[in-house]
Amino acid sequence: MGITRRQLLGWMAAGAGAGAGGLVPTSVRAAANMHFAGFPQSKGVLHDITLCIGCRKCEAACNTVNELPAPETPFDNLDVLKLDRQLSPETYTVVNRFYPTDPRKPQFVKKQCNHCLEPACASACFVKALRKQKTGAVTYDESLCVGCRYCMIACPFNVPAYEYHKALTPRVMKCTMCHPRIEKGLQPGCVEACPKEALTFGHRDELIRAARQRIERHPERYINHIYGETEMGGTSWLYLAGHPFGTLGMREDLGVVSAPEFTSGALAIVPMIVSVGVMLLTGIYAINQRREKIADEERRDAVDQTREEFEALMQQKLSEQKKAAEKAKDAAIKREVEKALAEAAKPEADQPAGEENGKEE
Ligand code: SF4
Ligand code: SF4
Ligand code: SF4
């Protein structure tokens, strides 16, 4: 199976962190190049889309357990289901509504981090701020994060969200599968809150067995596909549905090979001399070339084209981030200056007695 340019761009940053070899300490580089083997006893969640009623109780529970800000639209308002909502720094999970065939039969799909077995985001993170844990959760350590946002580009599911509005201490935000709760022997908040058992928490292997049984017992209800069993090398979050996943807003073009598997091979055969983007492109392309034996001329054209796209993408992202940070900073400075001017303009008579000493009488 070949890879598309879109996949290439998405995965490029998975190796970009490792590709920055000359810029980071050896130990950090080693971490970046590590190939995740997956953990046999790891946990996961099975989302049975055929059981989901779109009640948003999982969203509410996620908001509570993660102490996130209250949403603009309260959780008991189901009007938002008609929107194509995306994840954000304040929203680790959303439920969206789809009508795959019959306009009278809506299907509800919960979206959050899929906790890939071999996460592209973690592979892209050269300081190991994102890590695959033995529990199955992919966690984030903000104290290590340098804000490079490679993880955002690397994730094929468009999951990590960045706190652009925070000028000083922005973080990458996403679902952690409620890792602290799992470590205490609890279920993830969303699973516990689901009134329809549309979410099941357990060992990933057992969830796959259970999912297969459901398909075998009810072939009229389910399509014969467990989403996440093999997508991108497998994910800890698994899905069952009665309709093709492409009709439910889920990507079906990802293939079964994990992003790090591509990039680790690439790094072994590419001289560590060129820039991050060029290195990864060349490396990934070398693998593709081996697989598809495409002509040299095509290769050069494709590398050039993809490199241009990558550079444009990175420039655009950096410039957006810079603008957002500058805007927030300017607004804060303006507010402070206006406040100071207003204070200075107050007639002395208006000043409360004792203010000179900073005290009230
Ligand atoms: S879904 Fe995205 S953010 Fe979540 S583990 Fe996979 S690559 Fe990382
Ligand atoms: S596992 Fe936890 S963090 Fe993830 S969506 Fe569910 S409640 Fe939110
Ligand atoms: S709580 Fe359960 S039924 Fe309700 S929207 Fe979430 S997954 Fe679906």
Per residue in 275-296, pLDDT tens?
A: 444 444 434 434 443 444 444 4
Pocket of ligand 1 from Cβ distances under 6 Å = 113-116, 119-121, 138, 155, 157, 159-160, 174
For residue 175, report the distance from its CA to the centre of ligand 3, in Å. 16
Position 351 in a domain = no
Closest to 223 in 3D by CA, of 201, 247, 207, 200: 247
Q: What's the pLDDT at 14? A: 40
Closest to 158 in 3D by CA, of 105, 223, 232: 232
For residue 98, report the distance from its CA to the centre of ligand 3, in Å. 14
Position 338 in a domain = no
Position 266 in a domain = no
- Could you tell me the residue range of the domain that residue 103 belongs to? 24-248
Q: What's the pLDDT at 11? A: 47
Domain count, the chain: 1
Position 232 in a domain = yes
- Let me know: does 137 contact 149? Beta carbons within 8 Å: no
Strands (DSSP E) contained in the chain are 43-48, 94-98, 107-111, 130-132, 138-140, 161-162, 172-173, 199-203, 237-240
Q: Which ligand is nearest to the CA of 106?
A: 3
pLDDT over threshold 80, residue 90: yes
The predicted model scores a pTM of 0.68
Position 198 in a domain = yes
Which residues are 107's β-sheet partners?
A: 98
Position 285 in a domain = no
Position 35 in a domain = yes
Alpha carbon nearest to ligand 3 atom 4, residue = 55
For residue 121, report the distance from its CA to the centre of ligand 1, in Å. 6
Q: What's the pLDDT at 255? A: 84
Q: What's the pLDDT at 291? A: 42
Q: Which band of pLDDT confidence, cut at 50, 70 and 90, is reported for residue 65? A: very high
The CB of 94 under 6 Å from ligand 2? The reply is: no
Burial of 295 (C-beta count, 10 Å sphere; 0-12/13-18/19+):
exposed
pLDDT over threshold 50, residue 21: no
Percentage above 90 pLDDT, the chain:
56
Nearest atom in ligand 2 to the alpha carbon of residue 66 is: 3
- Residue 347: other Cβ atoms inside 10 A: 6
Alpha carbon nearest to ligand 3 atom 6, residue = 58
What is the CATH classification number for the domain harbouring 102? Answer: 3.30.70.20
What number is the average pLDDT over the span 43-63?
A: 98
Position 339 in a domain = no
Alpha carbon nearest to ligand 3 atom 2, residue = 194
What number is the average pLDDT over the span 167-178?
A: 93
Alpha carbon nearest to ligand 2 atom 2, residue = 178
pLDDT over threshold 60, residue 25: no
Nearest atom in ligand 1 to the alpha carbon of residue 132 is: 5
Q: What single letter denotes the amino acid at residue 252?
A: E
For residue 246, report the distance from its CA to the centre of ligand 3, in Å. 20
Alpha carbon nearest to ligand 1 atom 2, residue = 155
Per residue in 309-325, pLDDT tens?
A: 655 776 676 677 667 76
Pocket of ligand 3 from Cβ distances under 6 Å = 52-58, 95, 108, 110, 193-194, 196, 198-199
- Let me know: does 118 contact 258? Beta carbons within 8 Å: yes
Q: Which ligand is nearest to the CA of 45?
A: 2
Nearest atom in ligand 1 to the alpha carbon of residue 158 is: 2
Question: Which among 12, 139, 159, 251 is the best mutation to test ligand 1's pocket, defined by most ligand atoms within 8 Å of the CB?
Answer: 159
Instruction: Give me the DSSP letters along 209-271.
Output: HHHHHHHHH-TTTS-S--BTSSGGG-BSEEEE-SS-GGGGT------SS-HHHHHHHHHHHS-
